Chains A and B, each alone.
Chain A
Amino acid sequence: MERPLTQYIHPGCPPFDLREYQMTGGYAALQKALGSMTPKEVQQLVKDSGLKGRGGAGFSTGVKWGVVPMDDHAPHPKYLIANADEMEPGTFKDRLLLEGNPHQLIEGMILSAYAIQAEVSFIFLRWAYKKAAQLLRKSIHEAYVAGFLGKNILGSGFNLEMHLHTGVGRYMCGEETALLNALEGRRATPRAKPPYPQLSGLYGKPTIVNNVETLCNIPHIVNNGVDWFKGLSNSEDSGTKLYGVSGKVNKPGCWELPMGVTIRELIEEYAGGMKNGYQLKGVLPGGASTDFLTTEHLDVKMDFTDVAKAGSRLGTGTMVVMDDATCPVGFVHNLQHFFAQESCGLCTPCREGLPWVEKMLLSLEQGSGTEQDMELLEMHTHMLGPGNTFCALAPGAMEPLQSALKYFKDDFEKHISLHRCPYTA
């Protein structure tokens, strides 16, 4: 089983420096692309590979790049941004790539910038990743010294600057248009789309924002081609995927596996099964903003298509396991507390609705909720759903809530009839 993104990552050991990275084939893709491929050819290759964005939405990377104006009169500078904000609760996959092999990300970014002819690139890194910040600073410096960044890279005439930007904490910074505002020194509120960032992004110039894991795939696709990339997968969606499992399992962790392993394989084989004495009750397959799946979905393949068919989203691919000793009402209350707190306040349904949802869940959890609260919660899942808010934060928040109301209704009812939480003795 090939693990292109993580084969040289050994948690606990320092990552490769430039020389070690090069000795294992690093920067060969850059030499190849700059030496023998046009930017359009790189775009086409990535499009043909079927790579879908690993930041949560699963949009085709090649198609996204294809919207960037490429003619001689295109506005410039164009920008390429690595979204390393990783703040979705339950998600810890980009950290592995950032700390484990920073040069892989840098090479992926240079290649992607070349494909859209960007002249300036940023890594938008979340503040908490202190070790990654240190490693990235060092690696960017090494890449400049080696001539992989700066002017006239490898004599190709292509120029690229790269900067590391560390955030100051806010979930919204991960939303791509809010990220642009944050980079411009503003509040991280989202922008209206259209215009899409590909046409008018950072400082009004064409901009691509891609997830860290997405970008780390690029050198391997350039080196090995479309068929190889498709062959890595067990499913319709190409490539490998970084999967994670957290919660009361024996071996929580993060693994690179063929796209399309099943939920059962992840929990039972890779995460070593549930901890002694605990049963699986539900999972959030791809982070806090995805719908619950339950024991009936264990054979669902973790790819974009299959998880969607089962009524949820692959999201970030990092799964949170809920066991039978954890109160689902408390679990969802915890999630809604997060979303209410991180709402940027720009649009009314989200700003006003999420705190209400949080309050109702708290009173339900404490045993003072009523049947009417259940109806109101249900109503909110529609009122804060897709199309009713300015960005995807609120609809994302509603996903675990609506599915909890569906799958764990009994638990909510019990809180109401017993006037207390049945999970606390």
Chain B
Amino acid sequence: MISQKINKEVSKQDNTAKYQQHYLTDMERQFIDHEVSLVPHKSAAVIEALKIVQRQRGWISDESVSAIAAYLQMSPAEVDSVATFYNLIFRKPVGRHVILVCDSISCYVMKYGEIYKALQEKLHIQFGETTSDQCFTLLPNACLGCCDHAPALMIDNDLYKDLTVEMLESILKQYT
């Protein structure tokens, strides 16, 4: 029994070593190394590492969690506890573009609900879902910091404000 368990542990370690060697790309490792060089201990760079891997791969898979953990000498559970805490680390695949609709108070007063309804109709998805062509994922998001131009949404790095339902068509067209 015990030896079986030990064997299992060993094979887990092998796996970990393998992840470390092959999973992260050279570029990812280079970026992570740079972040590690700025902080007193490796684990302090974990959020940056998650951001780096997500930038390359779109989301953070279980394999990414394990690889980052091995690389930063943390346990996968520790890395996952951080990954699942932050709103913009995606632990599920997302579409090529992520639409973040502000659902906070000023946008509520300025009727973001109508914008959401129109998006639902146009894209045939609800909050938390991805279109079947993998183009868009639709997510609610807290205040985008442009409440004087409510309602607002962001697609990837682009902010759209003073939204009306009529504007959505031409906004969405820019993303393929």
Q: Which residues of A contact B (CB under 8 A)?
A: 86-92, 94-95, 126-130, 163, 166-171, 182-188, 203, 244-248, 252-254, 284, 288, 318, 320-323, 326, 330-331, 334-335, 337-338, 341-342, 344
Contacts and interface: CB of A to CB of B under 8 A. Distances in A.
Contacts, number: 123
Contacts of A166: 51
B69 to A, nearest CB: 12
Contact of A320 (B50, B82, B89, B147): B147
B95 to A, nearest CB: 18
Given A128-B145, A203-B40, A246-B106, 5 more contacts: A87-B145, A88-B143, A90-B143, A188-B86, A318-B147
A244 B147 contact: yes
B154 interface: yes
Contacts of B82: 185-187
Contacts of A187: 81-82, 85
A245 B149 CA distance: 10
Given A185-B39, A187-B82, A91 B145 contact: yes
Interface in B129-159: 141-150, 154, 157, 159
B106 A89 contact: yes
8 contacts: A128-B154, A163-B38, A168-B50, A184-B44, A245-B148, A247-B109, A321-B109, A323-B109
A56 to B, nearest CB: 14
A168 B105 contact: no
Contact of B145 (A129, A321, A334): A129
Contacts of A341: 142
A200 B37 CA distance: 23
A252 B81 CA distance: 40
Contact of B47 (A182, A334, A335): A182
B88 interface: yes
Contacts of B110: 246-248
Given A88-B143, A184-B44, A245-B148, A127 B88 contact: yes
A252 B147 contact: yes
B45 interface: yes
Contact of B45 (A185, A246, A284): A185
B115 interface: no
Given A89-B143, A163-B38, A168-B88, A254 B104 contact: no
Contacts of B150: 246, 252
Contacts of A128: 144-145, 154, 159
A288 B104 contact: yes
B73 interface: no
Given A252-B148, A334-B104, A89 B142 contact: yes
Nearest to B40: A203
Nearest 5 pairs between A and B by C-beta? A169-B87, A89-B104, A246-B147, A252-B148, A168-B86
Nearest to A128: B144
